[in-house]
Amino acid sequence: MRLNRVVFINAALLLTILASILTLGSCENEEGRGKMTLNIKSVFSSGEMIPSKYTCEGVDTNPPLKLENLDSKAVSLAIIVDDPDAPIGTFVHWVAWNIPPVKEIPEGLPKVEKTTTPLEMVQGRNDFGRIGYNGPCPPRGHGIHHYHFKVYVLDTKLELKPGSRKKELEKAMKGHIIQQGELVGLYERK
């Protein structure tokens, strides 16, 4: 019985040490195997309700996105905003790319394919069939939806035509993502 207890304690100690080593390995910065997480902040925190100003019930303009821990090797940024809770499947609200590596993406960007002010960027077509950002607009009574604001840090600018869709952007980014972050906002229409 005593031998079994010793074997169990040694096995538990060994598993604890291995778990610690694996955890340390996954926390390396961009010079190691892992990637530093890009932190995204806005006028709402992750898991909080998105103010109606940024939805179809308000001005329907993009919220500001503040980026922290941006990798120094960044060449450009890309954005995808989508809603996986939509009744027809994941619904895309915004795709944009070739954004310079800035610390803040301002509120109220123009809804055009290419813009240079207030920020240079190229935008694609969302699932409303429009260019640029269109905010949360879930069906009334469908409950709370989760809106994923995903920012990708890339090691290149993309050769992708304006008006492209999410799948084309994801394909163009493949192999070029050096960092990414996500902010999840909530919204419900009653």
61 and 116 both lie in a single domain: yes
Regarding predicted confidence, which is higher, 37 or 184? Answer: 184
58 and 97 both lie in a single domain: yes
**How many residues are given for the chain?**
190
pLDDT at 35 over 70: no
76 and 142 both lie in a single domain: yes
Distance CA 157, CA 176 (A): 9
Region 3-25: what's the mean pLDDT? 38
77 and 157 both lie in a single domain: yes
108 and 23 both lie in a single domain: no
Instruction: Supply the DSSP symbol for 34.
Output: S
26 and 58 both lie in a single domain: no
Distance CA 80, CA 102 (A): 16
Tokens of 70: 């941006």
Region 18-23: what's the mean pLDDT? 35
pLDDT at 7 over 60: no
- pLDDT, residue 27, reads 33
- pLDDT, residue 20, reads 36
Number of domains in the chain: 2
Distance CA 30, CA 73 (A): 9
84 and 178 both lie in a single domain: yes
21 and 57 both lie in a single domain: no
Q: Supply the mean pLDDT for the chain.
A: 86
Region 62-68: what's the mean pLDDT? 98
Q: What is the 3-state secondary structure (H, E, C) of 162-187?
A: CECCHHHHHHHHCCCEEEEEEEEEEE
Q: Give the CATH number, domain containing residue 61.
A: 3.90.280.10
- pLDDT, residue 145, reads 98
- pLDDT, residue 75, reads 98
pLDDT at 176 over 50: yes
The residue segments making up the domain with residue 173 are: 35-187
109 and 183 both lie in a single domain: yes
- pLDDT, residue 34, reads 55
40 and 19 both lie in a single domain: no
Please give the torsion angle defined by the CA atoms of residues 30, 73, 149 and 124, in that order, rounded to the nearest 10 degrees.
-140
186 and 147 Cβ atoms separated by less than 8 Å? yes
20 and 71 both lie in a single domain: no
66 and 23 both lie in a single domain: no
- pLDDT, residue 36, reads 80
Region 154-182: what's the mean pLDDT? 98
